[in-house]
Structure formats: structure tokens, C-alpha cells
Amino acid sequence: MAAQDLSVAFIKEYQERFEKKLKENEIALLEHWKGQLDKIASTRPDSIASLQMQVKKTADMMANRINVLKKKE
């Protein structure tokens, strides 16, 4: 019985640590991309075309990061 209780406790603790780390990673990710969008929002683009280019550049950066992460799997 004691071994089973230890296993359950270990699994619960491991799951809690995993969920905490997952949440920390998600927060870091969102902070990074929010920073990128804040940069775009703070600039005064000359035209809609330059704003579109900035948004496209950020979208390309996101796509590149997604591809890098997929290759690591």
C-alpha cells in the first residue's frame, strides 16, 4: 500500500511540476510575441503598405519559429 501511495504522490507532484512549467513557457511565449506586436503598434508607419510589411515580417518570424520547433520533434 505504501509503495502505491508513493507512486500516486510522485505522479501527482510530477504532473503539477509539468503543468507549472507548461504555464511558464506559455507566458514567456505570449510575452515575446506581445512585445513584437507592441513594437509594431508603437511605430508610425508611413502607409498601410509599410504596416502590412511589419505585420508580415512578424508573421514570418512566427512561422519560422513554428517550423524550427516542428523539426525538433
Q: Tell me the pLDDT tens digit for each residue of 16-72.
A: 999 999 999 999 999 999 999 999 989 888 899 999 999 999 999 999 989 988 887
Taking the complete model, does pTM exceed 0.95, yes or no?
no
Whole-number Cα distances in Å, 15 to 21, 23, 24, 35, 71? 10, 12, 14, 30, 26
Structural domain boundaries of the chain? 2-72
For residues 40 and 54, the answer to whether their CB atoms sit within 8 Å is yes
pLDDT band at residue 13 using 50, 70 and 90 as cut-offs: very high
